[in-house]
Amino acid sequence: MSSQKLGRGLDALLGEMDEAYKNEATSKDSIIELELKNIRPNPFQPRKTFSDESLQELADSIKNDGLLQPIIVTEDLDGYILIAGERRFRAHKLAKLKTIRAIVQNSDEHRMRKFALIENIQREELNPLELANAYGELIKLHDITQEELAQKIYKSRTHITNTLRLLQLSVKTQKALIDKKITAGHAKVLIGLNDKEQQLMVNSIIGQKLSVREVESMIKNLKNNKFTPSISNKKSITKLNFSNIKNKFDNLGFKVKSSQNKLTIEFEDEVHVEKLLSYLSKI
């Protein structure tokens, strides 16, 4: 199957969700009231984090005004599986409601995955990393290029490319982005740094509340070997006094060298090593 044909399939999918909701106005009997306990979340939901504050606001709105747009589910042997509308589903649970209005559609795993991806992308509810994973999934599912995906979802090719590149960041940097300790703008300029450099920059961004422009300047200096971490990022090193222990080793016939907090013992041969072990065993 050609990528062009698969691309048209994505166009069709984008229209399917609009059509499902449009049918609500013309075919009321297609909407049923389902018990929440009989609905399972979509296992292919790309969104992993939900704002507690935002969900509470939605729950309050639903309690006061009702659900304006039903969720979409598909039926299986154990009840129903959620295809689209996870925030509405979670908000109903938060509001301690027992039932929810839903549109029932026939679907398979492939379409369930695509519905979940498309709904979140269209509604812009994903964090940058979830969005990157969603883009990657759509490219893989439809065997299309980044350029073709950009055209299908009306985003720029640059946006698609830069978002996908976030997946190259270290796990710790990705977590800082998810936790909103750094912005997507900060994250994008950290791409290309090794894990240690990324952690250093993330600490600096958080501790010094750096702007993206300031981070760009620091990275430029880092690459030119001109960057020096702030004092708060340096571990304090205490110079230890080894004079007594050095004298002890000298008396035993061992040659030692010291440097700040390091002590080095030099051995002439295996006999010398055994001599030290013998001494230590008597202590």
pLDDT-wise least confident of 102-111, 206-215, 232-241, 257-266: 232-241
Cα distance between residue 130 and residue 174, in whole Å: 11
Q: Is the pLDDT of residue 230 over 60?
A: no
**175 and 41, same structural domain?**
no
- 86 has catalytic annotation: yes
Q: 3-state SS of 128-186?
A: HHHHHHHHHHHHHHHCCCHHHHHHHCCCCHHHHHHHHHHHHCCHHHHHHHHCCCCCHHH
Looking at the fold, whether 211 and 254 belong to one and the same domain comes out as no
CA distance 226 to 58: 50
Banded model confidence at residue 217, pLDDT cuts 50, 70, 90: confident
Asked whether 173 and 200 are in contact (CB, 8 A), the reply is no
Query: Residue 173: its pLDDT value, please?
Result: 92
How do residues 175-185 score in pLDDT, each as one tens digit?
998 888 998 88
Cα–Cα nearest to 258, from 270, 234, 250: 250
Number of domains in the chain: 3
Considering the domain architecture, whether residues 128 and 29 belong to the same structural domain is answered as yes
Mark whether 186 and 120 lie in a shared domain.
no
Mean pLDDT for the stretch of residues 53-75:
82
Strands 79-84 and 99-104, sheet pairing: unpaired
In a domain, 266, yes or no: yes
Token reading at 236:
């304090």
176 and 215 both lie in a single domain: yes
> What φ, ψ does residue 166 adopt, rounded to 5°?
-60, -25
Cβ atoms within 10 Å of 113's Cβ, excluding its own: 20
Span between the terminal Cα atoms of the chain, in Å: 78
Pull the structure tokens for residue 131. 């969005």
* Residue 93 domain-assigned (yes or no): yes
- Across the chain, mean pLDDT equals 75
CATH number at residue 153: 3.90.1530.30
Residue 110's Cα: distance from chain center in Å? 23
Catalytic residue among 86, 119, 125, 148: 86
3-state secondary structure of 41: coil
Residue that finishes a domain, picked among 142, 161, 180: 161
Q: Which of 161, 192, 221 is the last residue of a domain?
A: 161
Statement to judge: residues 49 and 74 lie in one domain:
yes
Q: Please list, in sequence order, all residues whose beta carbon lies within 8 angstroms of the beta carbon of residue 256, skipping any fewer than 6 positions away.
A: 242, 245, 246, 249, 250, 263, 264, 265, 266
Same domain, 135 and 153: yes
Q: 192 with 265, same domain?
A: no
Angle at 76 between CA 72 and CA 81, to 5 degrees: 35
**What's the predicted TM-score (pTM) here?**
0.45
Cα distance between residue 71 and residue 21, in whole Å: 9
Q: What 3-state class would DSSP assign to 218?
A: helix
Q: Is 70 helix (H, G, I), strand (E, B) or coil?
A: coil
Contact 195, 170 (CB under 8 A): yes
133, 161, 189 - which closes a domain: 161
% residues pLDDT > 90 (the chain): 7
Q: What is the pLDDT of residue 262?
A: 77
Average pLDDT over residues 4-25: 45
In which domain, by residue range, is 24 found? 3-161
In a domain, 238, yes or no: no
pLDDT at 44: 63
- 139 found inside a domain: yes
What are the structure tokens assigned to 23, written together? 């049918």
Same domain, 65 and 190: no
Longest CA–CA span in the chain (Å) reads 99
Q: What's the rounded Cα separation, in Å, for the pair 112 and 115?
A: 5
State the pLDDT at residue 104: 83
Q: Clarify whether residues 144 and 249 are in a common domain.
A: no
Are residues 215 and 122 located together in one domain of the fold?
no
* Residue at 18 is within a domain: yes
The crossing angle, in degrees rounded to 10, of helices 171-178 and 128-142 is 110
Pair (131, 66) in one structural domain: yes
Reported confidence tier of residue 71, pLDDT bands at 50, 70, 90:
confident
